[in-house]
Structure formats: structure tokens, C-alpha cells
Structure 1
């Protein structure tokens, strides 16, 4: 089934105001988009927000066994508007339609994307690919399933264990809630209702409760005293105590305040939710946090059988709840295990997850049973020499994936021109073999033998 891929992480469903994404963060959103190239095959059409990376595209196609010329690649940088709304980009719509006509309009085309927001539904209608689920997505079901406050309401109603906390507005309500919870726990996390990957998350703690960094948070604020004035003073430095006075990039938004567990392990499950039939668990793993999410161990290293059952069963239940709202497609579910051994579910995301492309590339290269047969160690935003130098270094050290053995290193994404970083996937038949490959890769990268 041929596809038109709209790699659209710059979505109004991903951040309260996409136009406020800082300039230095934009290349990392481009990297999120480029990961989806692993889902493409011969005869597909792809649209990415940043420049097309032809060198990496050739590398990827070589691993997947087809020629890059068999893809039609377009970039928003070649058009007047950076908007994903087709009404704002008629020339892009015409070029995509021309590509579909050239490749065969009578083929069973469908649109895939990072997140199926309202703009994607408009594309489906423009290309004549809308289906029975399109109406639900036109009514914001994807936005709903990427909102932390909605998750708390749904999970609480369904009886899932969630962190103690509240949904609040910025300003006085936020100050009051942080003051109250700090008096009980000594450390809380403030999350923007709509954001991803730890962006917008701030840990607020009394002295000595956490270090200078905390897993899952962009920054840590220390509140020296117990009073409301102390909290307000600390939050004012981040434009949280008076959000109406915030500069661009700190726009008013809803927040979720939760009790924070600084010494927890984080896990995820990715699923495919069909319109009919059983939910398919595609992959699950343990998040590497340094302190924000920086990669995965697949399958999870520290999760026991009882917690694995809780995680996967709970994720499927959340997927069924999501389907009852009209959602179909990729769904990610996140949870933590606290120091006391309690599993707490903390969000779901109705979109492509951080390992969707890993599942796609491993299924195509290693086979559908890779999850039971291989150990994967991944890391993203890793400082690297230029892409060509990295490839030569991996070849010289005999580290590249050996298809016959099903082990080695895969460069999953190249962002060396914009940020000097790459994402990698290390594949081993045992954990020891995977760790040896990763240590060798780190030496090629010029760093330590172990991930950060």
C-alpha cells in the first residue's frame, strides 16, 4: 500500500504554540521528522519540514535494499509557507498530487504522519484518502490524547495508578498548588499540558531533595523557604507566577503539577490501535534518562515479569479506551516504577512514539521476531563527527550491522550538519554483545565507552 508521509512534529497538537519553538530546538524537531523515513518504501512520497538529507537517505535505502531514486522526497523549505495546513501551501499540495498521479492514482494510497492532527485530515480530504476515522481526528482526538490533563482524567476514571497531583493554570493557582504539595513531599514536577520529551517540565524542590538535574525535566528550581512567597519568587524566574507577563516562548498554558519521584525507572509501550481487531503491541522498553529521555534499552533491562505484565496489560487497556474515543493508529504509553516498587502510569501519546522508527527498521532488517531475539541499545542527540567520517570510522572498526549475524551498529538518524549529533541503534544477540558494540561505537565517536 503506497503512502504519502507527512513528517509533521511541528504540530499545534504537540505544543501550545508551535511558532514559539526556540530556534535552537527546531533542528531536533527536524530530526524527529527524519526518523519516519525508515517507514518508507519504493514508490512512496515523503514530505519533511527540514532540508532533505540525501546522504543519509542513500545510507538508509542501502540498508533497506532499494534505491533512493524510488522515493519522491519534498521539503517544506522549498515552499513559501512552513505550515502543514494544505490551504496555506497550495503549491505543495499540487506537487504531492502530481507525484501521486505519476506513480499511479489508482493505487491504494494512504496518508501517514507523525501525528494525525486536523491539518493531516485536511490533507486526506485534499488527496481523496479520508477514511471512516477521519471525522474523529478532525474533532481533535489526537490533540486530546497528547494532553497530560486529559490523560489524568481518563486514567483516574479507569482506576489506573497515577501520581498525586492537580491540573492548574499558571499564576496564583500554580503557586498555591506547588506550595501545598512541596510542604508534603519536598519535590514536585510542573509539566506543560501540551509538550513532549521533557520540554516544558520543571522540577521544584526543597534544598537537598534532588541534584542539579532530574530525570524527565528540562531544569530544576530550588525553593529555599517553606512559604508561598518563597515559591512565588522561584517561579517568577521562569515566568510561571505571572504568565501574562511572559515573553514569547513562555506563553500562558495549562500545567500539571505532580509529586515527583527522582529515583525511578521509566518505561514505555508502543502499540498499533486498529479500527477493528486486537490492539498490537509493537515494542516496549526502558528509557535512558540523562536527565531527559536520551534513548532506550529494548527490551527493558530492569523490569521484572510482574511489572512487565502490569505495564503491557495497562497499556492495552489504555489503547482500548483510546479506541472508544475514535482513535486509531500509533499509541505510546509511559509509566514509572518508584523506589517502593509501585508502577505509576504518567501519560499516553496518540502519535508516533520515540521507538516507532526503531521498530520499523528492525522489523524490516532483522525480521518481525527481533524483540524476542535481540537486545537493542539506542541513544539520540549524540555528538558525532560528520556523517561520512562516522561511516568510515564504523567500517574501519567493523562495527556496522552485519546482516548475516544480525548484530552491529545502525545509524538511525543524521543531524550532524545542523547540531553535530546522530542517533544510533546498537543490535546484539546478547546484552554483552550489544554493550561491546556500543563501547566500540563510543570510541569511534571520540567519547567514553559508556553512554552519558
Structure 2
């Protein structure tokens, strides 16, 4: 983390890039994940967060990353409703304070989502947007990021790039039921997705029985009365997988790939690398990701992105969607890479998990429980459990990362951590 310009880490989970801003409740839930951005901090950095970070959690992060606490600043922005983080900063009167913290040191904004409000904020406080050479260059990538973070935009580009896609159609809201009925003539189930959505929000699985006997298809009020939706054949899925890549002036580089854990289409966790059940599609997934990276570079985009895919019971992969932003796995992967860099664990396997504790715990209590059981992360071995997302508001809904030398080690450690952290008295 040395030898680089200071970063203003901008945890703008409240963004219209992945979900319409009128979906306030889900955005507020996502914003609670902002504490994990602390793992990106180095000396001289500033974290701008929509939720407060606990002092015990920050002490824990600084200890594991060897960052002097006095060398970084954490600025908590008061709640302002379902508005972009940049607007909340302005409404709280914090813009000039952040300008002063950034200073004249060549600092750059590192947003979670590259959206118009983040770019305007960088211009407002006089800093660049990482990794672009100028604010104008970042602004030039907006059309592409806004389009490829939609289901319809991805299907159009993916089809042109030769990716295999589930059978489906893009349509307006009032056409969704008719399109679903047409597809259900050939497929047992379909999945109905709002055009701009992430993490499975608003997704519906519909069977022939659901629309039998004249039953109507009720949709959530997402995207407005004329919004776009995608209706696709529902595959018999054995794995939901993804590959994370990075686009720079030197080309597209694959960072990692793995399998997503989902429940009814919603993200619940992750394991890397790809498990044996779908390792045979790694080459095809990488080729699709590299093709998408070249397209993004041609459109002026730079930085991280993810390509998601589904593997069916025949072992065939189908491209599913793209996330042209930092995702739920980008920062944890950076954390894993950072924490194991000086250890004996040179090629770490890792997983993201969550579960409910038997009773509420505070951060110090949860960490003490892991340490007493010998399950807390060991910097020398580069293995163990990391409480990467701070204490949950309810004290029971914990997120944690498990790092090991192999997939088998991670599975074993994860089971032990669940017993210690979640199931204890």
C-alpha cells in the first residue's frame, strides 16, 4: 500500500448505477456493508462512509493491515434518505472538510460505483477519479457503465460478443406477463428480472402453475410503469459462478473466479477458486470476460468489473449478467490478497459466509470467541477467520471471511467457525 497517491475511498452504495434510487430500502441495506471498505485504507487515505464504523472493528483492521490509525481519516456522513452519497455529503456540509483532507497531494476518488454524482463530487473537491487520467475520462465511461449494469444492456452486448445466453427477451413492464406465458410453452419455469437490479433484488421465478387458471403476474413496483424487464428461461442450475477482471491501459487482467452462494437468486456468499464441479468452464468464462474487457476498454472504461454465469446440470455455462463496478467480492479479495502477502499462504483459497448467532454479540465478544477457539486469522500462516464487515446492527447476523491454503481447508475452517461464532451459547 506504499508508493501510491492517497485515496478518498467513497463508499457510495447509495447509487443509481445498480438499482433505481427509489428502491430506498434495499440501498440502505447495502450501505450497511460500507465498513468493509476499511480494508482498502493505507496511510494518507480517507474513507467516506454512510454508516459509522465501530472503534473495535477499526482497531482490528489497523492491527491486521499495520496501518497507523493516526495516518487515516474516517468521515461518517449523516443519513439523508435515498439520495446519492455525494448529495448527502453536500447536505451535511462536509464537502469542504473532505477537500481539506484530500489536500494538494494528487489524491484520487475510489468510488464503489462510478456514477454521475461521484464524478461530480470529485470535480467539486478537485481530485481525480481512480484509475482515470482525468475526471473527463471517467465521465466518458458513464454511458457504458450505466448500460452494462442493466440486464437488457448486458444481453445486447453479450450476444454480439458471442456469449451463450439463456433463451429470453427484453420487454416493457406491461408486456412481461405475455412474454412469460410465451416462454412457458417451451420451458417449465422462467425468471423475471427488472432491468436495473443487483443481488437478486426484484427477481421472480414463475412456473406454468403460477399463471394457470387465469392468474395474473404481479410485479414489484420497480422501474416504473414503462420500465424494461428481462424474461428468461429458468435453467436447472448447479452452480452460479463469476469472474472478476480489471481493465487498464495494459489490457484486461483476470483477478479471480469462484462460485456464488445464492438463495432464490439473491447473493448470500462466495467461494474461490472455482469448485471442481464447474472448473471445466474456467477457460470459457475467462474468454468471455476478456472479450467484455476489450469492449469496455474500447468504450473508455477502466477499473474492475465482474461477469456472472450459470452452469446447468449438463455442465454448460450461460452468461448471466455483468457488474461494471466494484462488487460484493472485490474488496474482500483485495483484503485476502493484502493479508496473505507476507504469509506462507501464497495461493489462498477463501470464502465469504454469513449466519445468525445464537444470541447477540458485540465485535469484541465475537473476536474473543474466535481467538479462544484458535480460529481467528493468523497473519503468519495466512489462514483463519476474518470479521471483515464489522458488528451487525442486530448483533446476530454476522458476515465473515474464511481464508485457507486449499478449498478443503476453507470448508473445514468454515464449519468450525460456524460452530464457534454462530452456534455457541
SS of 2:390's equivalent?
A: strand
Quick one: structure 1 residues 135 and 293, their matched pair in 2 at CA, closer, same or farther if it must change by over 3 Å?
closer
Q: Where in structure 2 are the equivalents of 1:360-439 lying within 5 Å?
A: 360-367=334-341, 373-380=347-354, 382-383=356-357, 385-418=361-394, 420-439=396-415
Q: Where in structure 2 are the equivalents of 1:323-338 lying within 5 Å?
A: 323-338=297-312
1:20 aligns with 2:8: no
* 2:211 corresponding residue in structure 1: 223
Contact 2:96 2:125 (C-alpha < 8 Å) held by counterparts: no
How far is 1:111 from its partner? 0.6
Cα distance in 2 between the residues matched to 1:121 and 1:426 = 34
Normalising by structure 1, we get a TM-score of 0.84
* 1:219 corresponding residue in structure 2: none
Aligned residues: 409
Determine which of 194, 198, 220 is the counterpart of 1:192. Answer: 194
Q: Where in structure 2 are the equivalents of 1:41-120 lying within 5 Å?
A: 41-77=42-78, 83-85=84-86, 88-89=90-91, 91-101=93-103, 105=104, 107-120=105-118
Cα distance in 2 between the residues matched to 1:445 and 1:198 = 27
Cα distance in 2 between the residues matched to 1:28 and 1:381 = 16
Gap regions ≥5 residues in structure 1: 208-221, 240-245
Cα distance in 2 between the residues matched to 1:150 and 1:79 = 30
* 1:157 corresponding residue in structure 2: 160
Contact 1:299 1:371 (C-alpha < 8 Å) held by counterparts: no
How far is 1:89 from its partner? 3.5
Once the two structures are superposed, what CA deviation does each residue of 1:122-181 show, in whole Å capped at 9, x if it has no partner?
1221232341522314x433211211100000011121111110111112x111101101
Contact 2:278 2:311 (C-alpha < 8 Å) held by counterparts: no
SS of 1:271's equivalent?
A: strand
Normalising by structure 2, we get a TM-score of 0.89
Quick one: structure 1 residues 159 and 432, their matched pair in 2 at CA, closer, same or farther if it must change by over 3 Å?
closer
| RMSD of aligned alpha carbons | 2.5
* 1:133 corresponding residue in structure 2: 137
Cα distance in 2 between the residues matched to 1:57 and 1:394 = 17
Q: Where in structure 2 are the equivalents of 1:164-179 lying within 5 Å?
A: 164-171=167-174, 173-179=175-181
Quick one: structure 1 residues 336 and 381, their matched pair in 2 at CA, closer, same or farther if it must change by over 3 Å?
same
Q: Which is further off, 289-298 or 302-311?
A: 302-311
Quick one: structure 1 residues 369 and 135, their matched pair in 2 at CA, closer, same or farther if it must change by over 3 Å?
farther
Determine which of 263, 266, 269 is the counterpart of 1:295. Answer: 269
Gap regions ≥5 residues in structure 2: 129-133
1:447 aligns with 2:423: yes
